[in-house]
Amino acid sequence: MSESDTTREKIIVAARERFSHYGYPKTTIAELAEDCAMSPGNIYRFFKGKIDIAVEIARREALSAVEVIEAVLDCPVRSSRQRLEEVVFADLRYTFHLLENQPKTLELAQIVVSDRPQFQIESLRRERRVFQRILHEGQASGEFMVDNVPATTIALHAATTKYRYAQLFTNQTLAELERELAHVMTVIMRGLMPTVEGHAVPETQIPSGTNIAPIAATSDASDTSTTSGKSA
C-alpha cells in the first residue's frame, strides 16, 4: 500500500500548509482536494473526516515535540540534575516559541483536544516518561534521593505546569518565566537531592539552551522578539 500511503502524505502536506496559513476552520476539503489534484470525495478514502486530518497532524507535532525534548537526553555526558533542568527549560522555550510564532498550531491543538480529550492525556503522558527516565537514572546513580519515582514524576510534572504553554496562564515575558522557573527548580532540586556535608544544594542556573534549535515562523519570520505583553 505504498501508493495510497504517498497519496495520504500528499493530503497531510497540503493540510499542514493550509492549516498553518489560514487555520483549520477556514480550510475546506474542496481546497485540499484541489491542492492534491483530486476530488473532495477521494479525501474520504484516506481520512474518516476533516477532524481526523487535524488529529494526524497534531499527533506528529506532539511526537516531534517530545523528540526535541528527548534530544537533550542523549547529548553529551551530564548530571541527572542538568538533564532534568535542561528538559524543563527546553519545554518552556519550545512551547513559548511555538505559541509566539505559530499561533495556528495552538488553535489546531485546542480543536483536536476539544473532541479528542484522550489526545492531551497521551501527550502529557509521553512527556512524563522523559521525566521519569531522568529520575530513574538519578536515583540509580545516587544523585537523587527519591523514595517513589512514579509519584515524584507526576509531582514534578504538575509543579511545572505553568511553564508548558505559559502564555495561556500569564503574559510574562520569556525572560521573566525563565527566572521564575529557575527558582522553582531550585526548590525542587533541594527536595530531590541529598545534602552533602552540610553544603546546601546550589541554586538552579538558567541553561544557555543554544543547543536547542528555535522554531522558524511559517511565513514572515522577521519578528524574533521574545516579549509578549498582550494588554495594558
Partner DNA sequence: CGAATGAACAATCAATAAATTATTCACTAC
Partner DNA sequence: GTAGTGAATAATTTATTGATTGTTCATTCG
CB of 34 to DNA, least distance (A): 10
CB of 119 to a copy of itself, least distance (A): 12
- Please say which residue, 10 or 162, places its beta carbon nearer to a copy of itself: 162
Helix (H) or strand (E) holding 54: helix 50-71
Binding range to a copy of itself, per CB under 8 A, among 15-23, 34-42, 147-155, 220-228: 147-155
| Candidate residues 75, 187, 206, 221; the one interacting with a copy of itself per rule CB under 8 A | 187
Termini Cα distance of the chain: 55
Helix (H) or strand (E) holding 189: helix 174-192
- Please say which residue, 39 or 170, places its beta carbon nearer to DNA: 39
- Which residues make up the interface to DNA (CB under 7 A)? 1, 3-4, 7, 25-30, 33, 37-45, 48-51
189 binds, among a copy of itself, DNA, none (CB under 5 to 8 A by kind): a copy of itself
**SS3 letters across 91-147:** HHHHHHHHHHHCHHHHHHHHHHHHHCHHHHHHHHHHHHHHHHHHHHHHHHHCCCCCC
38 binds, among a copy of itself, DNA, none (CB under 5 to 8 A by kind): DNA
Q: Is 64 a binder of a copy of itself (CB under 8 A)?
A: no
91-120 footprint of a copy of itself as x/- string (CB under 8 A): --------------------------x---
Task: Tell me the C-alpha to C-alpha distance, in Å, between residue 88 and each of 56, 151, 197.
Answer: 26, 18, 28
Phi first, then psi, for residue 196 (nearest 5°) are: -105, 115
165-184 footprint of a copy of itself as x/- string (CB under 8 A): ----x-x--------xx-xx
| Candidate residues 28, 39, 64, 161; the one interacting with a copy of itself per rule CB under 8 A | 161
Residue with cell 515575558: 173
- Please say which residue, 44 or 165, places its beta carbon nearer to DNA: 44
Inter-residue contact 112 to 119 (CB < 8 Å)? yes
CB of 30 to DNA, least distance (A): 5
Q: Is 160 a binder of a copy of itself (CB under 8 A)?
A: yes
Task: Tell me the C-alpha to C-alpha distance, in Å, between residue 47 and each of 15, 51, 79, 191.
Answer: 12, 9, 45, 48
